[in-house]
Structure 1
């Protein structure tokens, strides 16, 4: 394989288009296609495919999160890219997503992109770099174990180059899928049993985004707890700042990109506080894969089967919203045994894995 020359390889920042039907949108379309191809190559699944229409609103709105990308080119051909993501209100870390297809791996492209990403993060004065790698479930050969004691992933070239660049493996997540076209009888049974255990202290509420006015503050507060209450291994995670306005901006991006979001939440009746939540999301294709986004039971409300309640209730509601969606895809930390136990009881099975990596900048 021919190594690229520093004199022929160029790395330039992507200029975001304002619309997708203009000539200046070609690079963005290429970036989305590359993202999809990388996910398919790494997992053997098409579950993570996204359209440019779904993606562009997120990239254009930098109110709460900034997304940038750098393209590696040789002779006018895009050979790889690295995406950079960071939250505006949380100052510590930045996420990078390295994207080079196997056919171009080992030519020096991936190192050049990593170097560019790190230099950009240093300019932002952020002290922590984080990245994720995707892995197939049937990994053969050498594996890498998470320091949490839960989970292993294959030692792919992507994982190895992160190691060589000073990143440490911090956590492994399991990607699980649930068949939505099968019978739902057991889902209903689990829901009824969990409701009986939770009793009258908790009330189930459900809606389709946009969130009703009476739930916005409570829902936003619960979303802020995702950063503190969900297992994060050794990752340095800032406590996120959420309010009704930030929630509204997030939901506006969902709606602009043609996505439908169903929320199921448990409210603690004595205090009125949100105690648990679950989100299911689908794009504008009704036959597409459903993705579970935020799912959380707040620490002070655990032990009442609330995770089972919000997951089951949202799945049953989802059958009316997206009856043709084939499956739900979700990620959970391998050490999060309470949530994985719920998934396993409902019929979720492991289909791929993700590894979280971190590098601290001096």
Structure 2
């Protein structure tokens, strides 16, 4: 009861993310939650965020739901199902407005997620929540406690880190570069922005398909993604549609012409966006031990400065057990902020 004679009614309904008002409601909710729970974290870039909600995702089915609490947009649920591989997985993003918490809205959204996934044959539910990491800013423990109360178990911890693009002094950057170049004499560095060069795309696809199994995924079972040229080009078209520019560097093995490693950073076309997001960095297991990760990250940092001088900081996310990549990021000046703790719940098949 909200007051004498007034009953609060909460409803969960599917929403159309292409609707401008709905997109604005979701964006406002996310910004409010971040302002309360994680004020140090980056905010969504509005133009890209709105476009991303509208765009289809290659290899993925996405659905959105809103919780209406007495006429207020009180909660948001986004569900993603992988298509063509990993038919057991269902992933969710769930948020409740701070003014509407402790009213059962989160539980109702989580139940809706479970029912939606189960009806579509999914058995593994995955959802994340922000948590404190080390000596970083304090994060509420309510999200983790909520998931655990509802049968979820911690499966993976990804640590959020950020670095200024000028974090390295010139001497340190030059030393790291020279060391990496010396160790990678058998490789050529190729850099580009936007779509991958035609002569590298097939080799790039081969490596891209490894990311789900080579990058630590904790207790979450992941099958390789089926990536061919058509899928890769569809991903690139999506980035353009959501006003992001992939900034990429690859190490090409001189003897075979194969892409042995690559890294990417996602910059925004919005002139007001002063941050960028580090994407995947992967080295083919057969080509490790040549400092390719460090070499490519430095090459890409230089390229980012050249093409996007307004970008002041880069955010990245690494599994807490990914010691090698964390060590590289530490040398590059990244500092931990908080963590995205990813929880998993198994449903009966």
Q: Same fold (TM over 0.5)?
A: yes
- Deviating more after overlay: 131-140 vs 26-35: 131-140
In 2, Cα distance between equivalents of 1:52 and 1:80: 22
Alpha carbons 1:83, 1:96 under 8 Å: kept: yes
Deviation at 1:155, TM superposition (A): 6.6
| 1:169 equivalent among 154, 164, 177 | 154
Compute the RMSD of aligned alpha carbons. 2.4
The equivalent of 1:282 in structure 2 is: 267
> 1:163-183: per-residue Cα shift (whole Å, max 9, x none)?
111111012111111111455
Alpha carbons 1:227, 1:237 under 8 Å: kept: yes
In 2, Cα distance between equivalents of 1:77 and 1:58: 21
| 2:314 equivalent among 328, 334, 347 | 328
> 1:23-49: per-residue Cα shift (whole Å, max 9, x none)?
x42112211222233334332224142
Q: 1:277 to 1:93 in 2, by over 3 A?
A: same
In 1, Cα distance between equivalents of 2:207 and 2:145: 37
| Matched ranges for 1:7-46 at <5 A | 8-17=9-18, 24-46=19-41
The equivalent of 1:291 in structure 2 is: 277
| Matched ranges for 1:88-99 at <5 A | 88-90=83-85, 91-99=87-95
The equivalent of 1:350 in structure 2 is: 336
The equivalent of 1:75 in structure 2 is: 70
The equivalent of 1:112 in structure 2 is: 108
> 1:7-64: per-residue Cα shift (whole Å, max 9, x none)?
71110001232xxxxxx42112211222233334332224142325444345431442
Q: How many residues align?
A: 343
The equivalent of 1:21 in structure 2 is: none
| 2:218 equivalent among 204, 219, 233 | 233
The equivalent of 2:127 in structure 1 is: 131
User: Please, which runs of 5 or more residues in structure 1 have no aligned partner?
Assistant: 18-23, 141-152
Query: TM-score of the superposition, structure 2-length normalised?
Result: 0.91
The equivalent of 1:317 in structure 2 is: 303
Q: Does 1:84 find its partner at 2:85?
A: no
SS at match of 2:225: coil
- Deviating more after overlay: 173-182 vs 34-43: 34-43
